Chains A and B, each alone.
Chain A
Amino acid sequence: MIGQIAVNSLALGSIYALTALGFVIIFRASDVVNFAQGEMMMLGAMVGLLLYRDVHLSYAVAFVLSIVLCMVGGALVERIAFRPLMNAPHFTILLSTVAIGQIIRSGVRILFGQEVSSFPGVWSAEPISFMGLRTTALNLGIVALTIMTLLVFILVFSWTRIGWAMKATAQNKRGAAIVGISVSRTNSQVWAMAGGLAAVAGILLAPLIIITPDMGVIGNKGFIAAILGGFTSLPGAVLGGFVLALAENLIGVYLSSAFKDVIVFVLLILVLLVRPAGLLGRQIVKRV
């Protein structure tokens, strides 16, 4: 039973992990929690749906194109909501990302209406059995694409100059600027990357749920996953995503599915009480 629940959690966990990663890279580079991350995810799903269903592009092309568009969107958000406020207090920037999220959500609702649409299945949702555990091609596809995305992500982060610049900026902005890294350009790249991650998460999530302008609230889960993982650690974010999905499913099965999200929130408060730095994070210490 537990094994089956774990397998069921993999697809959802992948999506949480990708969203959490978006939160964490922006936080590390820009010291901001981007509350528009969920809306970027919704945007990715919407754009993917439009390109695939209405423009009749192939799934792969629609997938890549919507990632690219969301990367542009992410960079745009950085330009509008972050850069003019770079020297403002933290909470001003946080609020401006909340505002951007609201603008995206209501903009999509005005353009496409409140109607719900579902993403036509690319992989079948028929159950497959393997060693006594049941899953579907759809879930396997989601996990496979997530692993691919994570590999690309690791590759960019560890082997390209862009990735090094991101790491350096996250460690020390002034130091990075001194060695010739353009911090503002790096910021814009990080936000673009987070937009791309959100798009992947959105498109992968789309066949599992219905698409509405409000589906961005799932970004909330990525956010909780990021807190669980520690909010400063990239592997922590991924781990947090899977742990959260597993915890949710366990609670849903053994306790109450209606109050699942409430119980998860209580658990989050408990985690913060016992281990504020999360699973793999380190305490954020401000040096004077």
Chain B
Amino acid sequence: MRPPSQGEAVLQEGIRNDAILSNSPGFLNRIYFILFIYGREQYLSAWLFGVEYSIFNMHRARITEIEQSVMTPRQIYFDHNATTPLHPEVKKEMVAAMEMFGNPSSMHTFGRQARANVEDARVRVAQFMGADESEIVFTGSGSEANNTVLSLFVCGSSQCIPGMKQTIITSRIEHPCVLETSKCLMHRGVGVKYLDVDPYGKIDLQQLDDLMTDDVGLVSVMMANNEIGTIQDIAAIAAIAHRNGAYMHTDAVQAFGKIPVDVRSLDVDFLTISGHKIYGPKGIGALYVRKGTPYCPFIRGGHQEKGRRAGTENTLGILGLARAVDMRVAEMEAEEDRLQAYRQLLREGIEDRIDDVFFNGHPADSLANTLNVSFPGAEGEAILLYLDLEGIAVSTGSACASGSLDPSHVLLATGVDAERAHGSIRISLGRDNTPEDIYTLLDVLPGVIRQIRNMSTAYMKGGIHASVR
């Protein structure tokens, strides 16, 4: 037997801790079980007396709980890059904040209370990314923040952005809210250049340098990729952009709260974050806008956010986001180590148990929680749905699941062939996952893949293709 890897060592530690923390030690469970069996008998009065009877009543609720847990297996969530559950602390904060309905723009007591809370939240969000609170604009989502930045380029008003250069550079693996907006801008006369990525999803700094012509006004590259987890060297990209007189934007929606994000050391001009990827609420995002950077609101018609984003502040969302940030401050570092260990175990387990697998993404510069894996011969949506039937939620870059016919643009950009892209799933871990979750997936996945490959034309070894022709 091979010695335990570092990942397993950390995990076993985790399991021991879980056992200590668990409030139902084995012997008690055994008693519950016996009571559970007897409880189903019809002759209760024949044997129930004294102490046993009182224990029975005391634990009746617990028995029901066990019974239910036997009947409905735990749902395991491995799709944290899509969205995350609310952190219990965030939920608490938001439930309390529901009582606070004042408009932060009002001058009376109700309004002032809301204003005070919104501004306090702004400070906390700003601090976590090393920004000044005046540089934070709350938005309705990460997508809105990204749209805001890109749309600076069609602002015809010389009042907003005098002399803005009309070409942008972005990468081929951005989120659709950047790619689609870029495409739209192109139809409106803005030049768009795309950076390629290597097989691990990294952009080539030399290519960026080569594309940097005088007319480039903005470089927008995501900090960490949502599908494969690859982390870009944003500071180096920003340096190239600035050296050539362009502004730098990074979509840090996936990176923020998972790895340290500091706007000063990254030296970016715009940075996007989102609430629901970090155990905060949906419908809230924020855009960092460096002091002195030209700006033009995407949503007009109000003085909110110092005129940078109209619309009454989403107080509940803002407070939830700030609380989520607080919890990231407390939990991020330890969690990264833990998830790294889980991912390592998952990766080794998959390699051990399943033939013919490919891992997508960067071996080192990657989010600790993201594992993207291809199973040739098995199609992604089928894997997703069979796992779902087993109570396990993952996602896929497969075309069939999304309704388009093209598989993941991210995987195709890394040079993965279409077949491998069709057969990929993304497992994205989060704070609520336990070692048991990992083992459950490792138990279930090989069977699912075997089952799909067994009915797959793509996985027929031998000469069947010859017999068809």
- Do A and B make up one complex? no
Residues of A within 8 A of B (CB): none
